[in-house]
Every structure is written in C-alpha cells, then in structure tokens.
Amino acid sequence: NAGVMQNPRHLVRRRGQEARLRCSPMKGHSHVYWYRQLPEEGLKFMVYLQKENIIDESGMPKERFSAEFPKEGPSILRIQQVVRGDSAAYFCASSPGRGRFEQYFGPGTRLTVT
C-alpha cells in the first residue's frame, strides 16, 4: 500500500526558472494539501485541492504560484520565475476526507534556488 509519493525529491533551479513539483496521493485518498517548510519553521499551509477543484488557496502567494489536481495524474504545484526566497521543503499530504482529518505526508521536495 504505497504512501504519498512526491517527485522530484530534490530540485535545483536558477532564479527566473520554473519549478514543477508533483504529488501522487495515497490510494483511495481524494483530498490533497500542499505545505511549505522554511528552515527552523513549522509547516505552513498553501493550498487544498480535490479532483479538478481548488477548495482553499488562502495560503498561496498571490503571484507566481499555482496548483492543480487533474482528473487523471498527480497534483502539480507550479512556481514560476523562482526567487531565492522560494527555497524550502515542499510537502504534499493526502487524506480520505469523509470526516477523517488525519493527513498523511509525502517525503517532500527540497527546492533550492541558486
């Protein structure tokens, strides 16, 4: 029973490039969440999606960041024109919904912007 999968595990981008982070939820889970962790900080909520719908994007920066969870395939977090401040660990989590609030996390993608 595979857990939440994220790829790539490490991503290096130069300033101005685009970063695409992928997340496949656990089997049977229809809710996907993205969180960001800066050094020495806790995880900060970014966005909550269900298939083909963004439910809550209150934690997403207004510009350059977008997320999707298509009918087929993984959820994608896209960061355009990356800046050094985007360097962080990005974690995806999934939950089955239906009154279950535990979220199960993937191993994360560590983004480094040079």
Partner 1 sequence: DQQVKQNSPSLSVQEGRISILNCDYTNSMFDYFLWYKKYPAEGPTFLISISSIKDKNEDGRFTVFLNKSAKHLSLHIVPSQPGDSAVYFCAATLQGGSEKLVFGKGTKLTVNP
Footprint on this chain of partner 1 (rule: CB under 8 A): 4, 6, 31, 33, 35, 40-45, 48, 55-56, 58-59, 91, 93, 95, 101-108, 110
Helices (H) and strands (E) in the chain, counts: 0, 11
Strands 109-113 and 53-56, by their bridges, are unpaired
Task: Report how far residue 34's alpha carbon sits from residue 103's, in angstroms, rounded to the nearest whole number.
Answer: 11
Residue (76 or 89) nearer to partner 1, CB:
89
What minimum distance in Å lies between the beta carbon of 73 and partner 1? Answer: 21
Residue (1 or 58) nearer to partner 1, CB:
58
What minimum distance in Å lies between the beta carbon of 55 and partner 1? Answer: 6
Residue (48 or 65) nearer to partner 1, CB:
48
What minimum distance in Å lies between the beta carbon of 3 and partner 1? Answer: 9
Closest by CA position to 25, among listed 88, 105, 97 = 105
Helix or strand or coil: residue 5?
Answer: strand
